[in-house]
Structure 1
Amino acid sequence: MSFSLGPNQYGKAGVRLVTVDGPVVTDLTIASALSGDLAATHLTGDNSAVLATDTQKNTMYAFAREYGVGSPEAFGVLLGKHFLSSEIHRAQLTIEQHRWEQFGPHSFRRSGGETRLARVVVTADSVAVSSGLSGLTVLNTTASEFHGFPRDEYTTLPETTDRMLATSVDAWWDHSDPSLDWDAAFSDARGALLTAFSSTYSYSLQQTLFSMGSYLLAQCPSVGEVRLSLPNKHHNLVDLTPFGLDNPNQVYVAPTEPFGLIQGTVRRDGATYTEGPALW
């Protein structure tokens, strides 16, 4: 009985690359797939023709700093031509671009994925209405710090006085008036969350959470309580010094897990609270 090697390819998938160039945020998820004379690595373990997938990832980050990203098509062509060699005959780059809309001097909102929520409980004696949203993904490219936290032998996180802050807002808020213009009320509450996120100089995501909840209560008199769940969607600067490049807050990696999760409730003093939907 004999066996032969059929079509094959290899590459790096799920490469999260975010760049900031002035007022432009570019957010990509990239997958590379290289094929060519690669039988030896499969059959004998000879890796002399194998461009390591980690090298492919590093190239994406270095090229983003050195040449800029531009359009995903142009960036894919640039990478693909670079990856070709005497052994690599075909380079495929699949690039997803995630759209962001600017809504403040350094604030952006990711397009798509947001859901409006409502829960209504009706009895013979009462009507209780809660509104909410999930998946409102926002980021500030600057105006965020994080320092002064306890350090012990397991602490490796560096302190920072300038970082990108990003989160995906899940929120519920409870209404005391069951006869509002609900579309206008939802728009006001959502707008308050965005305004507070954009205008708060943040020293922690916890501080930002309280600022967002407080501003919503200030702008929406019918709301007595708001519950917020804010994952810290980390954006880490890529170390480009091994490639002879600096990185002045321009090229980031955006890992999906693990992540910090900040949750809290902001209440209007003296308000009567209903049992609205819990976030945790």
Structure 2
Amino acid sequence: MCSRHGVGLSHSRALTSPYPGSQVRRCPVPEDRLGWRVAWQDYEPVEYTAAAVLARPRWADPHISDKDFSPKFNERDGEVERKSLNGLYVVENGRPRNPAGRTGLTGRGLLGRWGPNHAADPVVTRWKRDGSGNKVAHPVTGKNILQFVAIKRKDCGEWAIPGGMVDPGEKISATLKREFGEEALNALEKSPEEKAELEKQLHKLFSQEHFVVYRGYVDDPRNTDNAWMETEAVNYHDETGETMDQLPLEAGDDAGAVKWVDITEKLKLYANHSYFLKLVTEKWGAHWSEGPAPE
């Protein structure tokens, strides 16, 4: 199965109001005014960039009007990737325009980069097994049940796939492994000896065959008219479960908790993460939905 790209961009969580971590309310955007091709002369979005972003941490761009800032949109800009996984985006009045449509808010909100902000989401899975080591099938569909490693995000309390931002110049493969180690295994707090053993086991897991689930725009509550999230979600499947048995889960970094979770359509997860898991179950022929209730 080939990976899915972010076409026909979903656009609902990007309208979350008030904006996450603030009391700032977005300008309401009716469904028939979402698209940029629809003329809206009276559109007056709220301008907002969080103080933490304006403080210029290493992961954030300067303000767009800074005289020393000349970003190269739609191309690689030094170590910063400003290309979108969804192709070319429009730059209007010096600002990139969200390809999914209006959000009711300009500026960058909580996001560091003008335009696409690239992340990576490692979907680590195994088969659910009983005490004898046999795969567990769903009683209704008869399909085997997949489990994935889920974290509870500290910023919003929602369960999610462990993942994070791609550092400037970093390869996606390195981001996937680093973020899983930091959030699901608490790698940052380990001793040098523990880190060495952890790295060995992570290399074993992340060097095996993998499946690119999705590449593209993410319908994220942090998105604005000028800054948005994009991700590459990659599935690393531990067929026997033996590799992950050597990696005890321990929440770290941005994760408040971590655990194995059965994959089902009933899960309520952060951003587009449920959709990513649906694609993974299709890949492995695993249980997803019980289907419509009988009449």
TM-score bin (small chain): under 0.3
Which structure dedicates a bigger proportion of its chain to strand?
1
Could you say which structure has the higher helix fraction?
A: 1
Greater C-alpha Rg: 1
Q: TM-score, normalised by structure 2?
A: 0.26
